[in-house]
Amino acid sequence: MNAPIKNADSIWRDAVKIIQSHYKNEFFNSINNIVDILFDCFTKNGRLLVFGNGGSAADAQHICGELVGRFQKERSPLDALALTTNTSVLTAWANDYDYHTVFSRQIEAYGRPGDVAWGISTSGNSGNVVQGLKKAKEIGLFTVGLLGGGGGQCIKYCDVSLVVDSKDTPRIQEIHLISYHIICALLEERIFQND
């Protein structure tokens, strides 16, 4: 039987090292800017549209679960919609037209000026996320990117982006999760501070 290439300890240490490397003001400024955009959106009765592929699709649903449900406080729901959950829309559009436009089509349907489109891509180059952010900009939505690598093509269409400086997908996903939990905590506290 072959020995594992890495052991749990080395993977853990690598993860902690990458997380610690993002502990800097620039990263926190991006988080605060995202909170500001979402605060403005929700306090003006806007909607958040979140989207990504694979694990990032799961993150989109997780974010919406925290905002529509609750994160840490009992409170009213926030209008957040994951564009990754309506299988009839996703499969009909992808089959009849193009998978690269499954998010942009939904943004056309659900998005209004002043809403926020939040794209998630560990590479920053997911074609349908790029197209979704591009369409959102065209129709007057604010755009947020939760990205990896150097931000890829997505960064061109983001008003605010939080870029994890890594090409290691699991580590990017872990920092994304920590980041959107921080965003949810700060946003919930700010919007519902008097509740």
pLDDT tens string, the chain, 195 residues long: the values are 565 667 888 888 888 998 898 888 999 999 999 999 999 999 999 999 999 999 999 999 999 999 999 999 999 999 999 999 999 999 999 999 999 999 999 999 999 999 999 999 999 999 999 999 999 999 999 999 999 989 999 999 999 999 999 999 999 999 999 999 999 999 999 999 987
Q: Is 179 annotated as a binding residue?
A: no
Is residue 53 part of an annotated ligand binding site? yes
What is the rounded radius of gyration, in angstroms, for the C-alpha atoms of the chain?
17
30 is in an annotated binding site: no
With vertex at residue 35, the alpha carbon angle to CA 126 and CA 134, rounded to the nearest 5 degrees, is: 30
Going by C-alpha positions, the residue among 132, 168, 158 that lies closest to residue 50 is 132
Question: Annotated binding residue at 150?
Answer: no
Q: Is 126 annotated as a binding residue?
A: yes
- Alpha carbons within 13 angstroms on the beta-carbon side of residue 185 total 7
CA distances from 86 to 60, 91, 139, 178, 184 (A): 13, 9, 22, 26, 23
173 is in an annotated binding site: yes
Per-residue pLDDT at 19: 87
The answer to whether the annotation marks 56 as part of a ligand binding site is: no
**Binding site annotation covers 168?**
no
CATH of domain 12-191: 3.40.50.10490
What is the residue extent of each domain of the chain?
A: 12-191
Q: What are the beta bridge partners of residue 50?
A: 82, 118
Tell me: is residue 29 an annotated ligand-binding position: no
